[in-house]
Amino acid sequence: YVHIDSQGVHFHAADELGGLDPRNVQRILKERHGARTSSACIGLAGEKLVRYAVITSDERTASRGGVGAVMGSKNLKAVSINVPVRKFTPFDEPKFKSLIKAQIEMLRENPRRKNMNTFGTPYITLGLEKKGILPVKNFQEGSIQGIEEISGEKFYALKRAKSGCYGCMTRCGGMRDVTAGPLKGTQIDGPEYESIYAFGPNLGITDKQFIINANAMCDYYGIDTISTGVCIAFTCELLEKGLISPADVDGLELNWGNKDAILTLTEKIGKREGIGKILGEGVKRTAEYFDKNASDYAVHIKGLELPGYEPRAVKGYALSMATSNIGGSHMYGRPRPELAGKIDPFTEEGKGESIAQVQKEQAIEDSLIACTFGNSGLNMEKYSEFLMAATGIDAYSSPDKLMKIGERIICLERCFNIREGLRRRDDALPVRMTKEPLKNAGEASGQIVSKLDALLDEYYECMGYSKKGVPKKEKIRELGLEEVLRDLD
C-alpha cells in the first residue's frame, strides 16, 4: 500500500492486509499512521479482480466501472494519507463567505434538503415506483406488491444514527443494524436507493432488513451493489426462462425472492468462487458465457449494468445512458426536467439538446466534486460566482465558460473511447428497451424506446459529432484538444 505524510510518499508491504475487508484495512492503517489518517482501499473482490469491485473510503464507495479491480490489478491494497491541514485563502474572501452564508440560509429551508436529511435517498423509492421508473425483476416490469415496505419512512424507522460527509448540512446517510452475514452485529451507512432497487424490486424482494444485509455483504467484499444485483437478477431470469439450469449455478435454487440463495450467490461473487467467477465478469460477459440468446436479457450499456431508472419510462434517460462515455450510469447526465415532471418523459422528440446540456452540467459538478444531494438551488451561474470568488480565474467567470469546460471534458472522454474502438453502434440500449413494451408500470405501461437513432442524430449534432458519433475535427480544435487528433487519424 501507499502512505502519504508530510515527509513524502512511502511504499509499504501489505501482506497482512491481504484478504481483509475495507473496515479492518482502514482501522489498521489508522492504528499504524495516526487517528487522522484517511484511506481509500479495496476488499477481497478487488484483489480477485471482480470487474465491478469498488474503492472504499470510510463508509462510502466509488462503486461503478470496476475501479477496485484496477487497484487490484496493480497489487495496490490501499492509499492512505495523514498530512497537516493547510489553510485556504479565497481570492475574494468576503464575497466567498457571503456566498456560503446565502447558500446555507437557502438550504436550511429547502424541502429537498429536509427530505434528504430525514430519509436519505430511500425517500424517492415510492415516487419512482408510482411513475413506472423503478425496475422490477430484471427490468421486466415497473411495479411490485409490497413496495410500501421499503419506503423512505420504513427505512427511517430502522435508522440508528445520522451520518454524512464532513461539513455537510444535508447529511443524507443513516446507520442501520446488520443482522446476517460477515458484518452481523455491526452497522452500515445505508442503504441508498440504488442498493434498495438492486437487491429489492429488481430481485422481486420488498424485505428492508434483507436489503440492508445484502448491502453489508457487498460492502464487506467490496463490490458494487448495482452490478451485483443486476447480475443476480439476470441469472434469475435465465433460470426462469429455462435457458440455464440450477446445475449451471452451483445447484442454487435461485429464483425471484429466494433471499438465502441470493445472499449465497453474493458471497460467491465477492470471493470469486464457483459460479461467482463467471458472474464476477459482469452481465455482458456472463451472457456471452451462457450463450443461448442470453444476451437478450443482459441489461447493460457498454458493459456497465443499468441503475434503478427504467429508460423506457424516461426517454431522456434512455438517451443519456446510451451516450454516456462510461456506460449505463444514472449519474452521467440526469434528465432533471423529466424526473421533475416539467417535460413529458414519454416523448422521444427534442431530447438531444436537453441531454447534451445536462451532461455538460454534470461534468462540471463532478469536476467540482459537488454533491448531487446537497446542491439544491445551485446552477451554473452560482457555480461561476463561487469559483470566481475562490480563484479569480477568468475561465470560470461565466456560465457559458463553465459549460464549455463541461463540453471539453465530455469530448475528451469520447475521444478516448473512439481511440479504443467505440462508435455509434456502442451508443445502444439493452435489447429489452427497444423490443419489449414495459409491463405493469402504471402510466408508463406499454412504453418502448423506438426512435433511438433519431435521438442519437440530434444529440450528435448538438455535441459537434459526426453521424458515426465521432467528434468532428473542428469541434476538437474549438475545445483546445488538438493533441488528441493524432490518436483519431
The per-residue DSSP string of 347-412 comes to --SSHHHHHHHHHHHHHHHHHTT--SSS-TT--HHHHHHHHHHHH--GGGSSHHHHHHHHHHHHHH
Same domain assignment for residues 297 and 320 = no
Parallel/antiparallel/unpaired status of strands 38-41 and 173-177: unpaired
Q: Is residue 273 part of a domain?
A: yes
Same domain assignment for residues 293 and 363 = no
Q: Which of 261, 277, 305 is the last residue of a domain?
A: 305
Are the beta carbons of 358 and 335 closer than 8 angstroms? yes
Torsion, Cα of 266, 272, 273, 276 (10° steps): 50
Same domain assignment for residues 269 and 380 = no
- pLDDT tens-digit readout, 388-437: 999 999 999 999 999 999 999 999 999 999 999 999 999 999 999 999 99
> For the chain, percent helix, then strand, then coil, each to nearest 5?
50, 10, 40
Same domain assignment for residues 148 and 294 = yes
pLDDT at 135 over 80: yes
We report the CATH number of the domain holding residue 9 as: 3.60.9.10
Instruction: Tell me the average pLDDT across 258-271.
Output: 98
- pLDDT tens-digit readout, 288-314: 999 889 999 999 999 999 999 999 999
Same domain assignment for residues 300 and 369 = no
Same domain assignment for residues 154 and 241 = yes
pLDDT of residue 376: 75
| C-alpha dihedral sign at 335, 336, 338, 339 | positive
Q: Is residue 96 part of a domain?
A: no
Parallel/antiparallel/unpaired status of strands 300-301 and 8-11: unpaired
pLDDT at 246 over 90: yes
Q: Which of 26, 59, 82 is the last residue of a domain?
A: 82
pLDDT at 93 over 90: yes
Q: Is residue 106 part of a domain?
A: no
- pLDDT tens-digit readout, 147-181: 999 999 999 999 999 999 988 989 999 999 999 99
pLDDT at 355 over 80: yes
C-alpha cell recorded at residue 396: 470560470
Instruction: Tell me the average pLDDT across 27-54.
Output: 98
Cis bond leading into 135, ω under 30°?
A: no
Same domain assignment for residues 139 and 223 = yes
Could you give the 3-state DSSP secondary structure of residue 56? Answer: strand
pLDDT of residue 377: 78
Residue whose C-alpha is closest to residue 154's, from 116, 206, 92:
206
| Cα distance between residue 100 and residue 397, in whole Å | 18
- pLDDT tens-digit readout, 427-478: 999 999 999 999 999 999 999 999 999 999 999 999 999 999 999 999 999 9
Same domain assignment for residues 269 and 358 = no
Q: Is residue 62 part of a domain?
A: yes
Q: Is residue 97 part of a domain?
A: no
- The 8-class DSSP code of residue 53 comes to B
We report the CATH number of the domain holding residue 352 as: 1.10.599.10
Same domain assignment for residues 463 and 331 = yes
At 389, which amino acid appears? A
We report the CATH number of the domain holding residue 206 as: 1.10.569.10
Same domain assignment for residues 297 and 325 = no
pLDDT of residue 371: 87
Q: Is residue 103 part of a domain?
A: no
Structural domain tally of the chain? 3
pLDDT at 321 over 90: yes
Are the beta carbons of 295 and 287 closer than 8 angstroms? yes
Any idea how long the chain is? Answer: 489
Task: Look up cell 459460479; give the residue.
Answer: 275
pLDDT of residue 167: 86
For residue 487, what pLDDT band results from cuts at 50, 70 and 90?
Answer: confident
| Cα distance between residue 344 and residue 131, in whole Å | 12
The pLDDT mean for the chain works out to 96
Residue whose C-alpha is closest to residue 223's, from 212, 211, 215:
215
pLDDT of residue 372: 84
pLDDT at 375 over 80: no
Same domain assignment for residues 166 and 242 = yes
Q: Is residue 92 part of a domain?
A: no
For residue 1, what pLDDT band results from cuts at 50, 70 and 90?
Answer: very high
Give CA separation, 456 vs 120, 299, 353, 377, in Å: 34, 20, 10, 30
Same domain assignment for residues 152 and 276 = yes
Q: Is residue 102 part of a domain?
A: no
Domain that holds residue 128: 117-305
Q: Which of 305, 326, 354 is the last residue of a domain?
A: 305
Are the beta carbons of 79 and 68 closer than 8 angstroms? no
